[in-house]
């Protein structure tokens, strides 16, 4: 049997150290009303290049969040210092932090527009549930745990049947 191919790009051979592990959980039985669950980890094969590309996606999101957030915080602080008296400096600080958080989230949304450019033609890292092995486990009653839950069936079909 040959080496596994990277599931994200389908071009290079996978490196087992770079695999994207999906943790799944299933309730196996109830004991006295308390659920007993079983967990398992399914590796999704990934090459080093895809792992680096997925890391760059995260870096782009964080960079946009920080850039927009700091710019919004600085701009609002400069504006509020001119408008409000100096005695209200704590209010200025809190309003500036709030404006920074709002602008940071806007920056994270803007970064989503650039992620396809960074990712290229690779599948996104945050949809491991469309991998055939993981999808089969989900169909058998397992549920993804952690930061990413299962995609909707329509989203799953979109990532599985893509044009080459």
User: pLDDT tens-digit profile of 33-69?
Assistant: 777 788 889 888 999 988 888 888 778 888 888 888 8
List % helix, strand, coil for the chain (3-state, nearest 5).
55, 15, 25
Report the C-alpha gap between 104 and 113 in whole angstroms: 15
User: What would the two tokens of residue 26 be?
Assistant: 């299933």
Residues of the chain below pLDDT 50: 1-2, 148-164
Looking at residue 1, its pLDDT comes to: 41
Report the C-alpha gap between 76 and 92 in whole angstroms: 8
Q: At what angle do helices 89-119 and 48-83 cross, to 10 degrees?
A: 150
Looking at residue 86, its pLDDT comes to: 66
Looking at residue 139, its pLDDT comes to: 87
Looking at residue 163, its pLDDT comes to: 41
Which sequence spans correspond to the domains of the chain?
1-46+130-164, 53-125
């Amino acid at each position: 049997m040959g080496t596994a191919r990277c599931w994200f790009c389908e071009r290079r051979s996978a490196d087992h150290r770079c695999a994207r592990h999906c943790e799944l959980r299933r309730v196996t039985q109830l004991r006295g009303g308390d659920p007993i669950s079983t967990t398992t980890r399914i590796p999704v094969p990934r090459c080093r290049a895809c792992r680096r590309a997925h890391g760059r996606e995260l870096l782009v999101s964080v960079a946009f969040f920080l850039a927009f957030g700091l710019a919004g915080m600085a701009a609002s602080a400069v504006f509020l210092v001119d408008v409000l008296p100096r005695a209200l400096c704590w209010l200025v600080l809190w309003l500036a932090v709030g404006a920074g958080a709002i602008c940071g989230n806007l920056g994270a949304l803007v970064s989503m527009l650039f992620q396809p450019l960074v990712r290229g033609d690779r599948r996104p890292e945050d949809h491991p549930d469309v991998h055939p092995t993981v999808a089969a486990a989900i169909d058998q009653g397992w549920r993804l745990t952690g930061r990413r839950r299962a995609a909707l069936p329509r989203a799953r079909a979109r990532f599985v049947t893509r044009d080459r």
